[in-house]
């Protein structure tokens, strides 16, 4: 089981074998860590990336790689929950991120393609109308499309023009080649300004945690501010659509083309819950592209925040020299670029218009907090083994992917107990 991007050969970097010092340490070599390092290097800041495995070998290699400011039907929700000004800032931040990708990709061979983005629904037209009203408040040039060019009937779609898609690993490889990176260098603990690894220490003035789910539990309360969700993708050969699509309802249906392949995503659910895996995506393929064969099949995992806005900025109020980029809510490409600007500005002591909106220290009094707390309490009290070494929750067996999954915080382990997804830092004992 591997993604369509995984056949691309990434550059590799040596393991840290000594004690070093740097201005900024970035923990995590996914797309967010690379973009933050790239931005800091442009500003003349000395920085090092420490990656536990190999760069972009986790979440980044499994993305569908849509570069868009259209994150589902988020703008009507944002206006209702946070107000028009917050929604404007969110739209502006992500549009700037798209523009930055366009500038960077002019000199990078990464199959970059400008295209339109659509959020459709199969039946409920009213939620599209609500989103269009919200977008008109924001001055967006979004359009309503009565019938997007899909092989099935819809109730319409909200269209964002001039969005983009690319090959994420080709892009990442290009920006990584000029960065100071150590692979196979897992940070096991942070004490003050020093990060410990198995073969050396890294001392830094500032530290950025870009590890997908933050692994430091004693600050920030991320273990109650987020949960993780699984989603599933197949790539079928000899099928094509124009544009990028996502269902505005709960099916999680997502479509985009890459060359001769059509990527069909579906099936979002909280990690550790029972699921149908790839069955809905396969059903769409069987019904509408019966001659196409499945060439790739994979799953991905995303951090979901309490209010569907990422946490980008100071790790916690008690850690002034530590920063975080997490909770991208399935929209990691533009969110990672936003994170690069916010964190680079914070480190360089520059004002950033979006820092308050994305602040990790904003209010946690949201409905999702109660759900997260209930899930954690339920699985802490459940008397079964194995237990997650992160915070002790009972794990559940995932038959589809043959893994042990944590319903509390989303850690995953292979049948043999090896860590697949964090925040767990160590594998399972024999069980």
**CATH number of the domain that 253 lies in?**
3.30.9.10
Average pLDDT over residues 208-224: 94
In contact, 226 and 373? CB cutoff 8 Å: no
The sign of the dihedral angle between the CA atoms of 297, 150, 73, 159 is positive
CA atoms within 13 A on the CB side of 342: 32
Q: Which residue has the higher pLDDT, 143 or 217?
A: 143
Residues 294 and 385 placed together within one structural domain of the fold: no
Paired residues of 299 in beta bridges: 232
CA–CA gap between residue 92 and residue 169 (Å, rounded):
26
In this structure, is residue 350 part of a structural domain?
Answer: no
Residues 230 and 155 placed together within one structural domain of the fold: yes
Nearest to 98 by CA among 200, 244, 211: 244
Residues 118 and 264 placed together within one structural domain of the fold: yes
Give me the residue label for tokens 């790539």: 235
The answer to whether residue 153 scores a pLDDT higher than 70 is yes
Please report the DSSP string for 351-388 in residue order: --TTHHHH-TTS---SHHHHHHHHHHHHHHH---S-B-
Cα–Cα distances in angstroms (integers) from residue 395 to residues 18, 225, 412, in the given order: 37, 20, 9
pLDDT at 430: 67
CA–CA gap between residue 345 and residue 368 (Å, rounded):
30
pLDDT at 383: 83
Nearest to 125 by CA among 101, 155, 154: 155
Nearest to 321 by CA among 211, 423, 194, 410: 194
β pairing state of 187-191 and 194-197:
antiparallel
Helix (H, G, I), strand (E, B) or coil at 222: helix
Cα–Cα distances in angstroms (integers) from residue 154 to residues 111, 158, 202, 285, 305, in the given order: 29, 12, 54, 17, 29
Instruction: Centre a 10 Å sphere on the Cβ of residue 320 and count the other Cβ atoms it contains.
Output: 10
Residues 403 and 261 placed together within one structural domain of the fold: no
Residues 287 and 395 placed together within one structural domain of the fold: no
Which of 302, 317, 342 terminates a domain? The answer is 302
Q: E-strand spans in 132-178?
A: 143-145, 157-165
Q: What is the pLDDT of residues 49-86, one digit of tens each?
A: 999 999 999 999 999 999 999 999 999 999 999 999 99
Residues 293 and 393 placed together within one structural domain of the fold: no
In this structure, is residue 241 part of a structural domain?
Answer: yes
In this structure, is residue 137 part of a structural domain?
Answer: yes
Cα–Cα distances in angstroms (integers) from residue 119 to residues 23, 67, 245, 331, 355, in the given order: 42, 14, 6, 14, 27
Which of 267, 302, 337 terminates a domain? The answer is 302
Cis amide leading into 422 (omega within 30):
no
In this structure, is residue 117 part of a structural domain?
Answer: yes
- Number of separate domains in the chain: 2
Cis amide leading into 85 (omega within 30):
no
CA–CA gap between residue 259 and residue 98 (Å, rounded):
21
Give me the residue label for tokens 């480190």: 347
Residues 402 and 266 placed together within one structural domain of the fold: no
Q: What is the pLDDT of residues 236-262, one digit of tens each?
A: 999 999 999 999 987 779 999 999 999
In this structure, is residue 257 part of a structural domain?
Answer: yes
pLDDT confidence bin for 429, thresholds 50/70/90: confident
CA–CA gap between residue 119 and residue 164 (Å, rounded):
15
The answer to whether residue 431 scores a pLDDT higher than 70 is no
Residues 385 and 238 placed together within one structural domain of the fold: no
In this structure, is residue 116 part of a structural domain?
Answer: yes
pTM of the model: 0.95
Q: Which residue range(s) make up the domain with 145?
A: 112-164+225-302
The answer to whether residue 287 scores a pLDDT higher than 60 is yes
CA–CA gap between residue 47 and residue 147 (Å, rounded):
49
Residues 155 and 231 placed together within one structural domain of the fold: yes
**CATH number of the domain that 377 lies in?**
2.102.10.10
Which of 302, 331, 351 terminates a domain? The answer is 302
In this structure, is residue 245 part of a structural domain?
Answer: yes
In this structure, is residue 373 part of a structural domain?
Answer: yes
Instruction: Compute the C-alpha angle 11/16/20, nearest 5°.
Output: 125
pLDDT at 425: 85
DSSP code of residue 395:
P
Residues 147 and 290 placed together within one structural domain of the fold: yes
In contact, 244 and 163? CB cutoff 8 Å: yes
Residues 289 and 374 placed together within one structural domain of the fold: no
Residues 265 and 408 placed together within one structural domain of the fold: no
Phi/psi at 257 (5° precision):
-100, 155
């Amino acid at each position: 089981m591997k993604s369509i991007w995984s056949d691309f050969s990434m550059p590799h970097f040596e393991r840290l074998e000594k004690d070093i010092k740097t201005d900024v340490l970035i923990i995590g070599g996914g797309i967010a860590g690379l973009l933050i390092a790239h931005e800091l290097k442009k500003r003349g800041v000395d920085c090092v990336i420490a990656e536990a495995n190999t760069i972009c070998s986790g979440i980044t290699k499994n993305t569908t790689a849509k570069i868009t400011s259209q994150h589902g039907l988020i703008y009507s929700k944002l206006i209702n929950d946070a107000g028009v000004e917050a929604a404007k800032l969110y739209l502006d931040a992500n549009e700037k991120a798209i523009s930055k990708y366009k500038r960077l990709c002019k000199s990078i061979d990464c199959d970059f393609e400008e295209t339109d983005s659509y959020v459709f629904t199969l039946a409920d037209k009213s939620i599209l109308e609500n989103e269009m009203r919200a977008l008109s408040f924001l001055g967006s040039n979004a359009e309503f499309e009565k019938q997007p060019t899909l092989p099935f009937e819809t109730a319409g779609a909200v269209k964002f023009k001039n969005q983009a898609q690319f090959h994420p690993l080709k892009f990442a490889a290009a920006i990584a080649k000029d960065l100071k990176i150590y692979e196979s260098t897992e940070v096991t603990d942070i004490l003050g300004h020093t990060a410990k690894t198995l073969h050396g220490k890294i001392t830094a003035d500032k530290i950025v945690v870009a590890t997908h789910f933050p692994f430091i539990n004693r600050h920030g309360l991320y273990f109650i501010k987020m949960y993780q969700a699984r989603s599933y993708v197949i790539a079928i050969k000899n099928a094509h659509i124009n544009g990028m699509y996502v269902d505005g309802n709960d099916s999680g249906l997502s479509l985009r083309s890459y060359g001769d392949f059509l990527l069909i995503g579906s099936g979002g659910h909280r990690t550790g819950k029972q699921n149908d895996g790839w069955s809905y995506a396969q059903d769409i393929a069987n019904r509408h592209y019966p001659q196409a064969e499945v060439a790739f099949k994979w799953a991905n995992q995303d951090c979901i925040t309490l209010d569907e806005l990422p946490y980008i900025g100071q790790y916690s109020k008690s850690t002034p020299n530590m920063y975080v980029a997490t909770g991208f809510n399935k929209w990691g490409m533009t969110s990672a670029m936003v994170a690069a600007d916010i964190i680079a500005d914070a480190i360089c002591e520059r004002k950033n218009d979006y820092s308050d909106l994305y602040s990790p220290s904003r209010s946690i009094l949201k409905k999702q907090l109660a759900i997260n707390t209930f899930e954690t309490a339920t699985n802490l009290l459940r008397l079964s083994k194995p237990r997650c070494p992160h915070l002790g929750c009972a794990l559940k067996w995932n038959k589809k992917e043959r893994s042990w999954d944590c319903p509390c915080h989303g850690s995953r382990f292979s049948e043999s107990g090896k860590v697949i997804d964090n925040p767990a830092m160590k594998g399972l004992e024999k069980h």
